[in-house]
Structure 1
Amino acid sequence: MKKAICTEDKTPPRRSFRALSRRAIKPCMAVACLCGVGYAAADTLPIPDGRWRGTLSGGLSVTAGNTRSTSINVGADFTRRTDSDKLHAVGTGLYATQRDNNTGNTNETSNLARAGAQYDFDLSPKIFGFGSLGLEHDELQRLELRSVLAGGAGWHAWRRGNEFFDLSSGISYNREQYEPQTRDTLELLFAEESGLQVSPTTTFKQRLAVFPNLQETGEYRIVFDSTLATAITKRISLQLTLSDRYQSNPPPGVKKQNDLLFLTNISWAIGGN
């Protein structure tokens, strides 16, 4: 008596057009929600009505495996603008640790805080003066406190709606308090700043400042900050922030000249209508 031999059909089953459509629609809907369809992003140049407008933001990241990493960041960005002046205040904090599950050792991978404020006042429709104060602490760079007081003048090179491009220059006094030493330096300041409405729901802001050292020829600092924000709802946005701090002459014991920071967080808009 012969045994019946059955062969398994390995041809993958065909999926109906409806099933494929559903699988394709779901990620598209997620992207649409992420882009905040139907909501407007925060203005890059706030309305000049004298009211405070800004955002509070925060982010948390946790990974687990052979090592456990935890990172938390918080931020604030507020502006008050009138027809003749503007006051802008900003702050950022980041703390991160990494724990080796095999040894139980925990190390700090980041511990920094930054804050600053700048006051701009128009001298004419195109020319403005400014004064600013910047503060920074970075534990891993052994920087207890950097205080930068600056002043100068600038030019509103371009404005269209709530988009703008400004150029400015001046002089700054920089006091750096590192663990091994304290340094006081006079610097020149050259900066550019812009804000763009990338789409109805997305804005982009950036600022680049270069500080040539007046006491040590050839030495300088570079400060760069940028934020891309996409509205999810009327008040909530997804923010991507990239900032860089470069110093050509770090003090003895500090190996890194460059400190690059990339953050992803959720922000909540405060003020305005």
Structure 2
Amino acid sequence: MLQKKYFWMNLVCFYFLFTLSFEIKAVFSDEIKMIDGNILEGEIGKVNEEAFSFRKEDGSEIDIQLKDVNFISKGNEIIIVNHSKEGLSILRLPKPENISIKNIDYTTTDTLILPGTEIESTEVADEETEQILEFTDDGQPSDTDKKVQSTSEQPSSVSAEEVVQTEEKEVIPPQRTWKGNVDAGMNIKDGNTESATTHIKGSYANIRSLDNIFFDALILYETVTDKATDEDVETANEQRATGKYEYKHTLRLYSFFNQYFEHDEIERLSYRSISSPGVGYRFIDKEHLKYKAEAGPAYTYERFHGGITDEYLGIRIGQYLDWRILDTITFYAKAEYVQSAENTSDWRVDSGLGVRHNLTKSIALSLELLDQYDNTPAEGAEKEDRTLIGSVGYSF
């Protein structure tokens, strides 16, 4: 009798868990297609003019900016977010059964293609009127939209196969999320003093919906000719590189891992490595103005000429500012502080600020001041090292 009781209890529990799994799956029925092609599944929460909260299937919650979204599938609707120079516009369509936004793409004819279904060929957005179309539950335009549509010819109902047969379409790829630039400069001086200075620097940034990837590098070389001996003397010979990964927990809060490398012959530094994970926060995150600060533990390893090494654990604090003053002019600044936990006098500050002016879409001029201060430099080296460089760059 007791075994029978346990059997029915287990059966009821199994039925409850089996039903609950379907209920949970039903709750997380919303789909988001980002401009970088990523597909997110979960539940849409609070919505405002610029962003909305989104609860993923694993239970974590993130904030998503509307400008990073192409399609939204919610309930019996498909919402298309159209991106234009004037801003964002939204088109809402009834969702056919068994259709996922994974199968939907834009075409050059601005026709929405829903595979295997009878669809209405509808313009995604009218750039002149920026009219936002609303659809009722039965799939018909609302009264407001009928007035707008009455002034233009009504499109005919066609199938996806007919669209493919009547015209050749080109699928528009997801919007590019990465950008970069390569800059170079050279200065030659002749007369009382002969010198030659060259530098190359580059940067890469990939800003995606869930994470960011950054990389930048600098090569600087300078020689001065000694008039007495007619020999070239190196006054600058250094290389720097930084790689960084950021994961967005919300629109403003993120975690990161930062890796820095440096080589400097003048400082007799074979190489310096600073590895630092941590947490950061975007205090200002607007199109024209961005400011963020971050902090975390840091591991520093240094090797100098002669086999001398130094390594220590400490903290790293960084802050970054990007200000687009005009459409073609950007001001940027950064400051990074690294402090040893073992020796309070062992610390360094790496800072820089610059201005970049875009002459064309691809060609730019930049002027940058770099400053490094090491409170415990190598023997014979100065504590502070300042460099002012001007560059002509190519943006891609």
Please give the range of the TM-score, normalised by the shorter of the 2 chains.
Answer: 0.7 to 0.9
Do the aligned partners of 1:115 and 1:135 also contact (CA within 8 Å) in 2?
yes
Task: Output one character per residue of 1:236-268: Cα deviation in whole Å (capped at 9) or x when no partner.
Answer: 1111111111111123x2331111111101010
When the two chains are superposed, the root-mean-square deviation of aligned CA atoms in Å is 1.5
Do the aligned partners of 1:54 and 1:269 also contact (CA within 8 Å) in 2?
yes
Distance (whole Å) between structure 2 residues aligned to residue 67 and residue 217 of structure 1: 42
Q: Provide TM-score, normalisation by structure 2.
A: 0.54
Alpha-carbon spacing, 1:84–1:110, altered in 2? closer, same or farther (3 Å): same
Provide the residue aligned with 2:206 in structure 1: 80
Distance (whole Å) between structure 1 residues aligned to residue 288 and residue 256 of structure 2: 20
Provide the residue aligned with 2:310 in structure 1: 183
Asked if 1:247 is matched to 2:374, the reply is yes
Provide the residue aligned with 1:216 in structure 2: 343
Q: In structure 2, the residue corresponding to 1:161 is in which secondary structure?
A: coil
Give the drift of 1:102.
4.7
Distance (whole Å) between structure 1 residues aligned to residue 238 and residue 329 of structure 2: 28
Provide the residue aligned with 1:167 in structure 2: 293
Distance (whole Å) between structure 2 residues aligned to residue 189 and residue 136 of structure 1: 16
Asked if 1:95 is matched to 2:224, the reply is no
Using the aligned pairs only, state the percent identity.
Answer: 22
Give the drift of 1:67.
2.5
Do the aligned partners of 2:288 and 2:325 also contact (CA within 8 Å) in 1?
no
Please list every run of 5 or more consecutive structure 1 residues that lacks an aligned counterpart in the other structure: 1-46
Alpha-carbon spacing, 1:257–1:50, altered in 2? closer, same or farther (3 Å): same
Distance (whole Å) between structure 1 residues aligned to residue 177 and residue 285 of structure 2: 20
Distance (whole Å) between structure 1 residues aligned to residue 268 and residue 381 of structure 2: 10
Do the aligned partners of 1:145 and 1:177 also contact (CA within 8 Å) in 2?
yes
Provide the residue aligned with 1:7 in structure 2: none
1:15-30 matched pairs, under 5 angstroms: none
- From 355, 358, 364, give the equivalent of 1:228: 355
Distance (whole Å) between structure 2 residues aligned to residue 102 and residue 246 of structure 1: 32
Larger radius of gyration: 2
Do the aligned partners of 2:252 and 2:285 also contact (CA within 8 Å) in 1?
no
Do the aligned partners of 2:182 and 2:203 also contact (CA within 8 Å) in 1?
yes
Do the aligned partners of 1:50 and 1:82 also contact (CA within 8 Å) in 2?
no
Task: Output one character per residue of 1:154-173: Cα deviation in whole Å (capped at 9) or x when no partner.
Answer: 11111111421101110110
Do the aligned partners of 1:223 and 1:245 also contact (CA within 8 Å) in 2?
yes
Q: Provide TM-score, normalisation by structure 1.
A: 0.78
Name segments (4+ residues, structure 1) moved above 4 Å.
47-50
Number of corresponding residues: 223
Do the aligned partners of 1:241 and 1:264 also contact (CA within 8 Å) in 2?
yes
Alpha-carbon spacing, 1:88–1:162, altered in 2? closer, same or farther (3 Å): farther
Q: Write 1 or 2 for the structure with the bigger share of strand.
A: 1
Q: In structure 1, the residue corresponding to 2:376 is in which secondary structure?
A: coil
1:38-57 matched pairs, under 5 angstroms: 49=175, 51-57=177-183
Provide the residue aligned with 2:247 in structure 1: 121
Provide the residue aligned with 1:196 in structure 2: 323
Higher normalized contact order (CA 8 Å, seq sep 6+, divided by chain length): 1
Task: Output one character per residue of 1:40-85: Cα deviation in whole Å (capped at 9) or x when no partner.
Answer: xxxxxxx965632110010011010033111110011110111221
Q: Which amino acid aligns with 2:275?
A: L
1:1-12 matched pairs, under 5 angstroms: none
Provide the residue aligned with 1:109 in structure 2: 235
Distance (whole Å) between structure 1 residues aligned to residue 371 and residue 388 of structure 2: 9
Provide the residue aligned with 1:152 in structure 2: 278
Q: Which amino acid aligns with 2:321?
A: S
Give the drift of 1:108.
0.6
Task: Output one character per residue of 1:144-189: Cα deviation in whole Å (capped at 9) or x when no partner.
Answer: 1001111100111111114211011101100011113110111211
Distance (whole Å) between structure 1 residues aligned to residue 262 and residue 302 of structure 2: 9
Task: Output one character per residue of 1:4-62: Cα deviation in whole Å (capped at 9) or x when no partner.
Answer: xxxxxxxxxxxxxxxxxxxxxxxxxxxxxxxxxxxxxxxxxxx9656321100100110
Give the drift of 1:101.
3.9
Provide the residue aligned with 1:38 in structure 2: none
